């Protein structure tokens, strides 16, 4: 008997059809596997593939986590409230506008539970964070895919794609993988042209790295009374806490009540709550880390452009570059050098690679390996 039963037969027949058809998430290559395959020591492998921030975590955050070791037997209820208040204060909104989550990705998964019935529509770009598509498909959404134009969300085409059954428009600003933002004008145009029954989700996981004046701020639109605007934020990128899983949404209080209703009540661990509180209290660390990322972004942009590549101007902690060659082949050659980047063919960019900004020495090691590969 086969170990694996084909779909549609045996126990697999019980799986809901929309889920059976979802593409599996392809994470960045694993540094331990690359070390084992190449013989390069693990500590010398440079991973610039998952838009992580390798800047050393704030010492005050580490101390806050350590203080929680004595309390691991108890649920983190009161810490949850304290973190919610701190997040609200940091964003200039009342506590009722905040939903905490174990990473913003969990909110991406929960939003379709709130909005989408089978056959409802969502509008998204195929060249964006892949989880929007999978999360929507879980609920049986019909996907309206609006391709990016010149690496940017095509707002007029998105407005045109919205219909009476559109429940969510997924935006990502800065967009992963292109690094482009939705401008203030564009966001306002979109929000004023779609019905109030369409949620406009703006994933701002990379917002702390934005230095463009024209950045569209969903919180301003929310404050102006657009109750369908939802911002998703993360501690994984600017705060370098991807391993702790900490994120949040800023939304209308009615949306927050609903999102909390479908969330596990003790979703965040005590160490994560404590880390979030300490991280929000360490502005100096955030400024230093962000400065390092922006310097690295400028360096990578400059050096890759000097190779004759087309580098998409990025507002994130990563750059997408058109190598004018086979991006996946270059990704493989770099793996042999112990450097992990992201091939971009999955987003429909077969000649591009996406490189996360690392520490200065990691950026230099990537550039040196790249020169050897070319
Ligand atoms: C655009 C975008 N949103 C959300 C996430 C997930 O972030 P978190 O770690 O907060 O779940 C990522 C992770 O890479 C991302 O690129």
> Which segments within the chain are labelled E, that is strand?
46-47, 98-101, 121-124, 142-145, 166-172, 199-203, 229-234, 247-250, 310-311, 318-322, 339-340, 342-343, 352-356
pLDDT at 1: 41
pTM given for the model? 0.96
pLDDT at 373: 96
140 and 111 in contact (C-beta within 8 Å)?
Answer: no
Look at domain 10-56+284-373 and name its CATH class.
Answer: alpha beta
Residue 226 has pLDDT above 80, yes or no: yes
Domain boundaries, the chain: 10-56+284-373, 59-280
Kindly give the distance from the C-alpha atom of residue 2 to the centroid of ligand 1, in angstroms, as a whole number: 37
Confidence of residue 12 (pLDDT cuts 50, 70, 90): confident
Residue 26 has pLDDT above 90, yes or no: no
Return the residue whose CA atom lies nearest to atom 16 of ligand 1.
Answer: 176
DSSP designation for 174: S
pLDDT digits (tens, 9 = 90+) for 274-311: 999 999 999 999 999 999 999 999 999 999 999 999 99
Q: Which CATH number fits domain 59-280: 3.40.640.10, 2.30.30.90, 3.20.20.140, 3.40.50.1970?
A: 3.40.640.10
The percent of residues above 70 in pLDDT, for the chain, comes to 98
Q: Which of 268, 276, 278, 260 is nearest to 77 (CA)?
A: 268
Residue 4 has pLDDT above 70, yes or no: no
pLDDT at 24: 83
Q: What is the mean pLDDT of the chain?
A: 95
pLDDT digits (tens, 9 = 90+) for 326-354: 999 999 999 999 999 999 999 999 999 99
341 and 355 in contact (C-beta within 8 Å)?
Answer: yes
Torsion sign over Cα 73, 75, 80, 82? negative
231 and 251 in contact (C-beta within 8 Å)?
Answer: yes
- Token pair 């209703």 is found at 261
Question: Residues lining ligand 1, judged by CB closer than 6 Å?
Answer: 51, 103-105, 129, 172, 176, 203, 205, 234, 236, 242, 247
Cα–Cα distance measured from residue 20 to residue 162, given in angstroms and rounded to the nearest whole number:
26
Ligand 1 pocket test, candidate residues 176, 268, 279, 344, most atoms within 8 A of CB: 176
Ligand 1 pocket test, candidate residues 47, 104, 106, 202, most atoms within 8 A of CB: 104
Give the least confident one: 68-82, 115-129, 191-205: 68-82
Kindly give the distance from the C-alpha atom of residue 105 to the centroid of ligand 1, in angstroms, as a whole number: 6
Kindly give the distance from the C-alpha atom of residue 176 to the centroid of ligand 1, in angstroms, as a whole number: 9
């Amino acid at each position: 008997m086969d170990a694996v039963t084909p779909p549609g037969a045996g126990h697999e027949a019980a799986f809901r059809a929309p889920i059976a058809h979802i593409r599996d998430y392809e994470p960045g290559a694993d540094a331990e596997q690359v070390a084992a395959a190449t013989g390069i020591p693990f500590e010398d492998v440079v991973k610039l593939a998952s838009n992580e921030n390798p800047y050393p975590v704030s010492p005050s955050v580490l101390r806050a986590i350590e203080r929680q070791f004595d309390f691991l037997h108890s649920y983190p209820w009161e810490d949850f409230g304290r973190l919610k208040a701190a997040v609200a204060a940091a964003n200039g909104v009342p506590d009722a506008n905040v939903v905490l989550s174990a990473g913003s990705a969990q909110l991406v998964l929960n939003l379709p539970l709130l909005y989408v019935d089978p056959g409802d529509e969502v509008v998204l770009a195929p060249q964006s964070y892949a989880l929007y598509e999978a999360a929507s498909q879980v609920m049986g959404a019909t996907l309206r895919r609006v391709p990016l134009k010149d690496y940017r969300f095509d707002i007029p085409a998105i407005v045109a794609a919205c219909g009476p059954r559109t429940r969510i428009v997924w935006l990502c600003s800065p967009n992963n993988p292109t690094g482009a933002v939705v401008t203030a004008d564009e966001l306002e145009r979109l929000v004023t042209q779609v019905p109030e029954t369409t949620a406009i989700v703006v994933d701002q996981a990379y917002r702390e790295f934005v230095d463009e004046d024209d950045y569209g701020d969903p919180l301003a639109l929310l404050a102006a009374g657009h109750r369908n605007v939802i911002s998703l934020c993360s501690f994984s990128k600017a705060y370098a806490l991807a391993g702790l899983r900490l994120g949040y949404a800023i939304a209308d209080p009615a949306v927050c009540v609903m999102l909390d209703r479908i969330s596990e009540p003790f979703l965040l661990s005590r160490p994560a709550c404590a880390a979030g509180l300490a991280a929000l209290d360490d502005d100096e660390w955030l400024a230093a880390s962000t400065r390092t990322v922006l310097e690295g972004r400028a360096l990578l942009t400059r050096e890759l452009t000097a190779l004759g590549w087309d580098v998409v101007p990025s507002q994130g902690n990563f750059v997408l570059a058109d190598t004018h060659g086979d991006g996946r082949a270059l990704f493989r050659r770099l793996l042999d050098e112990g450097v992990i980047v992201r091939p971009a063919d999955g987003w429909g960019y077969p000649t591009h690679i996406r490189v996360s900004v690392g520490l200065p020495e990691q950026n230099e090691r990537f550039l040196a390996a790249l020169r050897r590969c070319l």
